[in-house]
Amino acid sequence: MRQFSFSDLLFLATALEWTFLMAAIALAFGVPVGLALALARTSGSAVLRTVATALIELIQGIPLLGLLMFFYFGIPVLVGKDVPTVVAVGAAYTIYTAVFLGDIWRGGIQAVRQAQWEAGACLGLSWLQQFVHIIAPQAFRIALPATVGFLVQLIKNTSLASVVGLVELARAGQMISAGTFQPLLVYTLVAAIYFTICFPLTTWSRTLEARLNGAR
């Protein structure tokens, strides 16, 4: 048995990189897909609406853990060759992020009155101009708290990647705890690190909300 030491702290810091990397991948790919889903769900085309709704309902009905398992164990079987862990896990987080943000933003877009689209159309603006200049800024303001709320969830949920062997923050904590027999210390530290990342996000969200509301 060994004592918790400085090298363990470094280990946690390295593992934290994976936590951030997973969140970054999820956002980099999930945000554009989520926006596309939100637009599809609010579009005039029944086909697009149905497809997007079905996808959102389906994925939201599957636990994130199940998604991770499917992409990590299932996809290699389907495609017949190994898929790198980062790709499999990244894909699972991307689709998870896309459907939840898609649904949150769909709500934001629908909360903007239809008359706002109409006012833009009557001034001769294109659909894209109406969305970018008139609808999106208002929808973003409405959806901001829920969006940041999801971001916090996402960062905490990267811990689930530990089950498929990715050594991110939670998994690193588990390993150190097993080595040092100091679970209270180690897990408190891990929890404190998660909190240190997430708390500023919610604070920032509140500041942003206040500022956006002020400019109105």
- Segment holding 147, helix H or strand E: helix 136-157
**Interface with another protein, residue 171, by CB under 8 A:** no
Pick between residue 80 and residue 124 the one whose CB is nearest to another protein.
124
Per CB under 8 A, the list member of 141, 155, 159, 177 interacting with another protein is: 141
State the Cα–Cα distance between residues 59 and 51, nearest whole angstrom. Answer: 12
Binding segment (CB under 8 A) for another protein, from list 6-14, 128-136, 151-159, 171-179: 128-136
**Interface with another protein, residue 129, by CB under 8 A:** yes
CB of 208 to another protein, least distance (A): 14
**Interface with another protein, residue 210, by CB under 8 A:** no
Amino acid found at 213: N
Pick between residue 129 and residue 203 the one whose CB is nearest to another protein.
129
Crossing angle of helices 136-157 and 85-111, in 10° steps, is: 150
Pick between residue 117 and residue 194 the one whose CB is nearest to another protein.
117
State the Cα–Cα distance between residues 15 and 107, nearest whole angstrom. Answer: 35
CB of 215 to another protein, least distance (A): 8
Kindly state the DSSP code that residue 62 receives in the 8-state scheme: S
| CA-to-CA dists, residue 78 to 15, 70, 81, 92, angstroms | 30, 10, 8, 15
